[in-house]
Amino acid sequence: MPLGIQRLNAKRSQPNDRIVFIKPLKGPGEEIAQDFLERIAAQCLPIMREHHLSVMSLEEYEPNPEFVGRNFNAGEVIQLVLKARSGHWLPFNYVQMVMMHELAHCKQMNHSRAFWAVRNKYAEQMRDLWSRGFTGEGLWGRGALLATGEFEMDTVAPGEPLPEHLCGGTYRSRGRKRKPKRTLTYKEQKERRILKKFGANGIALGEDAEIKQKLEKGKTVKSKPRVAGSARGRELRAAAALARFDQQQKEEVKEEKAVEEGSETESSDDYEDDLASGPDAVDIDGKKLLDTQGRGMVKVCEDENPDDQDAQDELRELQSYGTRKPAPPPPKPTAHASRGEVARKTSSNKLETNAGKRPTKSESISTKAPWAQNSSVCPACTFANEPGSATCAMCANTLESAGVLNSWACQSKTCKGTRYRNAGDCGVCGVCGERKPSSG
């Protein structure tokens, strides 16, 4: 959870404790968009946790021909486009990689080499999560259960127009301009070089009268040694070198501690108000962009450079993510087919039945759902349990109602119409957290 934010009395499991608000667009597809954004947030949780990233609000933005994602105030708001202009949902992996791009802008609000190094690292970690089948923690790691999954079924078809740019730029609220550095004088530059090389609070070596007399073979000499090869000169140079080496090691340890504690982050003292310079940022509809406090915003970074090699590699990767294949045309009846014969072919099984002939026993079984063929397969999360299991080992769904006393189905808006049943001793629903209904 971001610093200073604490969620109280949460009614359901949150997909990502580093994203405070998840806001889909209002409309008929609001529930599907909510599920889409929550699964995006759940899958990128390990990356955000490892790199100490926080997002105040993850929002859906309306379909447009310009961009798919953008970032405000280094992660205060991240907006993602979930639909193409045709109304079909964008592929999940496509939007997830856009999320990686926008998360990289939390570290680098530009499209420089440093930004692409961060983005490529996040993308590589996301591919590793895909290879391990990671979808989230807790309930979100149990696969596609209890959710509609409609955004995976109704994705864009090949040839549909997608936005011209992936990133719509980064924006920062006014009053966040870095103070220009003061020009140092020659004397200050010299003092800084000496301080960097020899350190502060130096000690003059060899000033003691006894040590000086010993180095000069018993002679009392007030001046500094002029002969470079003298014993005194060699001893002083060696002692000074060791002192500088110790001082340098101490400074390196201090710098490492400062980096670990995050002291290199930008502080408010490094910025000054800039209410006059720079044009106001406007949205694609021509309206002025405002932050949560009503202040105007300035566009920090423009669209990515299409000639950049990293941008081209990212575009090719996004284009490779699947769009739905067009459904095959229904088979045409042959001239030799009788009036009562009907040929049916589906993607799951290829079964030909005769309208005038009763299907065989093996054909009837093959058309049933997987959990009808094997009672140990959970109908909610499709997890293959041990034969004879009364409840699912993955999601605690009741498999055999007769073997579990007083099992009950939750009738909340989230669970209604699903195949999930709670055990009789469960006081709250294992999915949405609603309490068990009273016996009345």
List pLDDT tens digits, range 182-206. Answer: 788 888 888 888 777 766 766 665 5
State pLDDT tens for residues 399-434: 877 767 788 888 888 888 787 888 888 888 888 878
Round to whole Å and give the CA distance between 254 and 258: 6
* Co-location of 344 and 311 in the same domain: no
* Co-location of 375 and 295 in the same domain: no
Angle value at C-alpha 1, between 30 and 258, nearest 5 degrees: 140
* Co-location of 165 and 308 in the same domain: yes
Q: Which of 38, 102, 304, 314 is catalytic?
A: 102
Contacts of 184 (CB under 8 A, 6+ apart): 192
Q: Is the pLDDT of residue 107 over 60?
A: yes
State pLDDT tens for residues 6-28: 665 656 678 888 999 999 999 88
pLDDT band at 167 (very low <50, low <70, confident <90, very high): confident
* Co-location of 338 and 372 in the same domain: no
* Co-location of 77 and 39 in the same domain: yes
* Co-location of 290 and 411 in the same domain: no
Q: What does DSSP assign to residue 89?
A: B
pLDDT at residue 338, rounded to an integer: 42
Alpha-carbon torsion (170, 155, 416, 140), positive or negative: negative
* Co-location of 314 and 340 in the same domain: no
Give a yes or no: residue 212 inside a domain: no
Give a yes or no: residue 167 inside a domain: yes
Give a yes or no: residue 240 inside a domain: no
* Co-location of 160 and 90 in the same domain: yes
Lowest mean pLDDT among 10-24, 283-297, 315-329, 401-415: 315-329
Q: Is the pLDDT of residue 281 over 90?
A: no
The residue that leads in pLDDT, 117 or 221, is 117
pLDDT at residue 143, rounded to an integer: 53
Give a yes or no: residue 335 inside a domain: yes
* Co-location of 40 and 172 in the same domain: yes
* Co-location of 310 and 396 in the same domain: no
Percentage of the residues of the chain whose pLDDT score is greater than 90: 21
- Domain containing 345: what range? 329-357
Question: Does residue 102 have an active-site annotation?
Answer: yes
Structural contact between residues 173 and 297, judged by C-beta atoms closer than 8 angstroms: yes
* Co-location of 160 and 47 in the same domain: yes
* Co-location of 97 and 146 in the same domain: yes
State pLDDT tens for residues 111-155: 999 999 999 999 999 999 999 989 888 777 755 444 446 677 777
Q: How many distinct structural domains can be found in the chain?
A: 3
C-alpha pair distances (Å), 117 with each of 46, 74, 267, 311, 412: 18, 17, 24, 12, 46
State pLDDT tens for residues 44-84: 999 999 999 999 999 999 999 889 999 999 999 999 999 98
Q: Is the pLDDT of residue 330 over 60?
A: no
pLDDT at residue 9, rounded to an integer: 61
